[in-house]
Amino acid sequence: MGTVNGVVSFWHAQLGPPVKRARLATSTSVDVCIVGAGLTGLWTAYYLKRASPSLSIAVVEREFAGFGASGRNGGWLSAAVAGSLDRYAQRRGVEAARHLQRTMIDAVDEVIRVAHVEGIDADIVKGGVLRVARSSPQLHRLRDSVAAAERWGDPHATLSGEASRARVNVEGAVGASFSVNGARLHPAKLVRGLADVVAASGVVIYESTPVVEIRAHEATTPFGEVRAQFVVRATEGFSAALPGLHRLWLPMNSSMIVTAPLADAVWDEIGWREGETLGDSAHTFMYAQRTADNRIAIGGRGVPYRYGSRTDRRGETAPVTIRELQQVVADFFPALRDVDIEHAWSGVLGVPRDWCASVVFDRATGLAAAGGYVGHGVTATNLAGRTLRDLILGRVSELTQLAWVNWRSRKWEPEPLRWLGVRSLYLAYRAADRSEASGRSDTSRIARVADIISGQ
């Protein structure tokens, strides 16, 4: 059987085409207009409507709910902070950075709680996060990251190679870190389920309705204006296409493949019984999950960035990227060298110049936004949604004091510098991974330089 390429994502394909909601028919006025029906937009709508049922809320979506990264991701519901805690601490103080980490840990349980009370079955299993090291430099970096996580209040256990392989039998694993603060889920089940809950609560979701411009108190579409006291931009990796935002967040691609369901005998060999999410410590890292129907879904960077911030082709993925990810499967699990790859897809995520996510709000213009999660948005979107609720309702809460509120990152360089820079960085990271795999004992100097240039 051939590999299905694109069609948005395997997760959506598994559920069948979504039944599209109506598009905006004519200009309208509401209290809050949210642009984008991914997790950021939907969590914001969910918490606002629950806190203030009389608010009129419209979500305006170009395609359908969950079309973006929210319906395509690796399904890691993790407590990783979307940004550098050191950087947040430098500007906002150490305690503020710690607080952000604590609230992210709590947000993992909050997503699980809401899914449960709202009856959203998203295959959630809180099996923790296992990150393996497969070389000596990777092990050094892993230990450094465990020490850093500890400092910020996110405890991780360190596992020996043997203990790591007893959990998930990754070829060549010499050690691992493990955190209980993580769960695996089915992204499309979560985002579509949340959209249904939000719509049932009285929020109107307009689909097939592109917003072409956002101004104070107004979002413009080809079918009319949505006027509102507050307009929330929740377009993450697609934001560069909106007027004035070209250099705000770089749209970075991430690609995934999924295997056919694997036989029990193969799972006996591999282990992976607890629903852990699995990652590694390479510079061009991989992320994976064992799905509820016993496949491996695995992702990595692919072609990281297209010239001029061009984003999406409905998830279509370059054949070379599919081959590379297939090779990762074979390297990690040699028994799967010839396994069928059923589906490949890609998506875009938003990367700020300093890699720090933000929630921004301006009462005077009514403009708000959240994003820039750099591939850690599944949990962060929930926290952002609750934070936007409090900011819009004028509540002063511990969420409105979070380090990422009204965080400003500088703009990306204009083209062609941006394209050249990002391409070179990823070539450098790949070279560093190759050099480390060939037996050096410390982190490659190429990667250290790339880290400094990229601002990571």
Ligand X SMILES: Cc1cc2nc3c(=O)[nH]c(=O)nc-3n(C[C@H](O)[C@H](O)[C@H](O)COP(=O)(O)OP(=O)(O)OC[C@H]3O[C@@H](n4cnc5c(N)ncnc54)[C@H](O)[C@@H]3O)c2cc1C
The single residue among 178, 238, 332, 407 that binds ligand X, judged by CB under 6 A, is: 238
Asked if residue 237 binds ligand X (CB under 6 A), the reply is yes
Binders in 246-285 for ligand X, by CB under 6 A: 254, 256
Asked if residue 360 binds ligand X (CB under 6 A), the reply is no
Q: How far is the CB of 249 from ligand X (least distance, A)?
A: 10
Is 9 within 8 Å of 347 (Cβ atoms)?
yes
Instruction: Point out the residue whose Cβ comes nearest to ligand X.
Output: 377
Dihedrals φ, ψ of 78, to 5°? -120, 165
Asked if residue 12 binds ligand X (CB under 6 A), the reply is no
61 or 433, CB closer to ligand X?
Answer: 61
Report CA Rg, the chain: 21
d(CA 228, CA 367): 10
Asked if residue 378 binds ligand X (CB under 6 A), the reply is yes
Closest Cα partner for 234 from 350, 107, 131?
Answer: 350
Asked if residue 75 binds ligand X (CB under 6 A), the reply is yes
Asked if residue 367 binds ligand X (CB under 6 A), the reply is no
Amino acid at 309: S
Is 312 within 8 Å of 318 (Cβ atoms)?
no
Q: How far is the CB of 191 from ligand X (least distance, A)?
A: 7
Place of tokens 């309208």: 28
Binders in 130-189 for ligand X, by CB under 6 A: none
Task: Using DSSP bridges, classify how beta strands 287-290 and 296-300 pair: parallel, antiparallel or unpaired.
Answer: antiparallel
Binders in 202-221 for ligand X, by CB under 6 A: 210-211
Of 69-77, 102-110, 428-436, 446-454, which part binds ligand X (CB under 6 A)? 69-77
Asked if residue 10 binds ligand X (CB under 6 A), the reply is no
Structure tokens, 127: 């099996």
Of 88-96, 112-120, 372-380, 432-440, which part binds ligand X (CB under 6 A)? 372-380
State the DSSP code for 8. Answer: S
Asked if residue 38 binds ligand X (CB under 6 A), the reply is yes
The single residue among 13, 33, 58, 60 that binds ligand X, judged by CB under 6 A, is: 60
Residue 24's Cβ-side half-sphere holds a number of Cα atoms within 13 Å equal to 25
34 or 446, CB closer to ligand X?
Answer: 34
Q: How far is the CB of 45 from ligand X (least distance, A)?
A: 11
Task: Using DSSP bridges, classify how beta strands 287-290 and 277-280 pair: parallel, antiparallel or unpaired.
Answer: antiparallel
Asked if residue 230 binds ligand X (CB under 6 A), the reply is no
Amino acid at 10: F
The single residue among 10, 32, 47, 68 that binds ligand X, judged by CB under 6 A, is: 68
Tell me which H or E stretch contains 258: strand 249-259
Q: How far is the CB of 27 from ligand X (least distance, A)?
A: 16
Is 197 within 8 Å of 140 (Cβ atoms)?
no
304 or 375, CB closer to ligand X?
Answer: 375
The single residue among 152, 249, 287, 305 that binds ligand X, judged by CB under 6 A, is: 287
Of 74-82, 130-138, 170-178, 428-436, which part binds ligand X (CB under 6 A)? 74-82
Q: Determine the 3-state secondary structure of 36 from DSSP.
A: coil
Render 128-157 in DSSP notation, one character per residue: -EEEEE-SHHHHHHHHHHHHHHHHTT---E
The single residue among 11, 47, 67, 412 that binds ligand X, judged by CB under 6 A, is: 67
Beta bridge partners of 327: none
Asked if residue 35 binds ligand X (CB under 6 A), the reply is yes
Asked if residue 328 binds ligand X (CB under 6 A), the reply is no
Q: How far is residue 282 from each of residues 90, 104, 105, 437, measured CA to CA in Å?
A: 27, 24, 24, 9
Closest Cα partner for 207 from 19, 17, 22, 67?
Answer: 22
Of 121-129, 165-173, 347-355, 411-419, which part binds ligand X (CB under 6 A)? 347-355
Of 102-110, 113-121, 233-241, 321-329, which part binds ligand X (CB under 6 A)? 233-241
Closest Cα partner for 376 from 64, 75, 41?
Answer: 75
- The residue count for binding ligand X (CB under 6 A) is 44
Structure tokens, 143: 């230990």
Asked if residue 421 binds ligand X (CB under 6 A), the reply is no
Asked if residue 232 binds ligand X (CB under 6 A), the reply is no
What's the distance, Cα to Cα, between the start and end of the chain in Å?
A: 40
Question: 105-125: string of b/e by CB count within 10 Å (b at 16+)?
Answer: bebbebbbebbeeeebebbbb
Asked if residue 39 binds ligand X (CB under 6 A), the reply is yes
Amino acid at 315: G
Which residues sit at the interface with ligand X, rule CB under 6 A? 35-41, 60-63, 67-70, 72-76, 78, 210-211, 234-238, 242, 254, 256, 287, 299, 347-349, 371, 373, 375-379, 381
